[in-house]
Amino acid sequence: MSAITKFKMLVSFLFVCFTTSIVAQNGSENDMGSKLYDTYKEKGVQEVLKVYEKNNSNKDYEGMAEPLNVLAYRLMQDEEDLKGAEVLLKAQIKEYPDEANPYDSYSDLLLEMDRKDEARKNIEKSLAIANKKDHVQNDLIIEAGKAKLAILDNKDKQMNFLVGNWDNETKVFQKGEEVNSAKSTNNISFDNSGSIMIVDHDMENNKPCCKRVMVYDPVKDEFDVAYMRRNQPNGIYSSKMQLKEISPDHYEMIEKYTDENDEEVEVKHDIKKKSNEVEWITYNSNDSGWEKVRTMNLKKKG
């Protein structure tokens, strides 16, 4: 299913969290989990609900360690029984309608089932509840929920208009005056499975110059960037970029990194796209504001 790859890491992260929690519970609760799983294997999910109702003496909400929640994820990951997991998670929502995690867990299942509209509604419901309660598990739920909404909104693909092969005319400026210019090419690709954009930059003579790898972080809503230059073998330079859409064809990106003197540097990128062209202007921050240091005129090949 198309949503499984996108959210596999998030689901696994939550699974680790509540698995750790359940191990810390007392023996009777561990016995409950084993009993429910054995019942599922022998008689199916409907019988699980009957056994749970009969034997669940602890009515206090246990968050991610709730037996039905744990079993639902086990059915999702180990048994690949999404329908069975849905029965359990709906029962969990009915039992605890005022808790955030049942809706968040159900959204994970809905995403695996590619029911994105329903998943969004459950994520938003979960966030609305979690934001009203001060609890460490709700902090995790808020973080995961925001990440899932960002991916659903395709924020990892905001720069995908750059995918393709480009001729690049670059001009360098100092104090407002052009001091250098060069022609090069860019081959830009996107790895959908990892939300990774890769920029291969070659000089005019087709010699490899450098590579830039951009990975979208849905929690922080920013791109983590690694930059590698062929003639600078001292390591990988990293930065973070936050993108803002000014209009459908106009973007502003703020890039931050630490330079060789351990000083924080802030750079602004002003990006305007046309049909087969992109105008990209880079500004450095100084005491008087923003100073233009580079322009790139990208023209798509073919």
Q: List the beta bridge partners of residue 183.
A: 169
Q: DSSP 3-state assignment of 72? A: helix
Q: What is the pLDDT of residue 84?
A: 97
- Please give the Cα distance from 261 to 210 (Å, whole number): 22
139-143, 195-199, 230-234 — which is least confidently predicted?
Answer: 230-234
Q: Phi-psi category of 175—alpha, beta or left, where left has phi over 0 and alpha has psi -120 to 50?
A: left
Q: How does residue 291 score in pLDDT terms, banded at 50, 70 and 90?
A: very high
Q: What does the pLDDT average to over 213-240?
A: 88
- Please give the Cα distance from 293 to 143 (Å, whole number): 37
**pTM for the structure as a whole:** 0.73
Q: List the beta bridge partners of residue 284.
A: 267, 291
Backbone angles phi, psi at 210, to 5 degrees: -165, 170
Burial of residue 177 (number of CB atoms within 10 Å: 0-12, 13-18, 19+):
exposed
* Residue 62 CA to its chain's centroid (Å): 27
Percent of the chain with pLDDT over 90: 71
Question: Do 48 and 88 meet the contact criterion of CB atoms below 8 Å apart?
Answer: yes
E-state strands within the chain: 164-174, 177-191, 196-203, 208-217, 222-229, 237-247, 250-258, 264-273, 277-286, 289-300
Q: Can you list the domains of the chain with their CATH numbers? A: 2-153 (1.25.40.10), 157-300 (2.40.128.20)
Q: What is the pLDDT of residue 198?
A: 96
List, for residues 233-261, the tens digit of each pLDDT value: 667 889 999 999 999 999 999 999 998 88
- Please give the Cα distance from 83 to 37 (Å, whole number): 15
Spatial CA neighbour of 36 closest among 69, 12, 8, 14: 69
Q: What is the pLDDT of residue 196?
A: 94
Could you tell me the CA-to-CA distances from 162 to 28, 159, 208, 283, 301 in Å, in that order?
56, 6, 19, 20, 12
- Please give the Cα distance from 222 to 239 (Å, whole number): 10
Q: What does the pLDDT average to over 276-286?
A: 95
Q: DSSP 3-state assignment of 212? A: strand
Q: What is the pLDDT of residue 155?
A: 92
List, for residues 12-63, the tens digit of each pLDDT value: 444 444 444 444 444 445 688 899 999 999 999 999 999 999 998 888 888 8
**Residue 1 confidence (pLDDT) above 70:** no
Mean pLDDT score across all residues of the chain: 88
Question: Do 120 and 149 meet the contact criterion of CB atoms below 8 Å apart?
Answer: yes
Backbone angles phi, psi at 176, to 5 degrees: 85, -5
Spell 267-285 as b/e; 16+ CB within 10 A means b: bbbbbebeeeebebbbbee
List, for residues 162-174, the tens digit of each pLDDT value: 999 999 999 999 9
Q: What does the pLDDT average to over 115-135?
A: 93
Q: What does the pLDDT average to over 224-241?
A: 86
Q: What does the pLDDT average to over 151-164?
A: 93
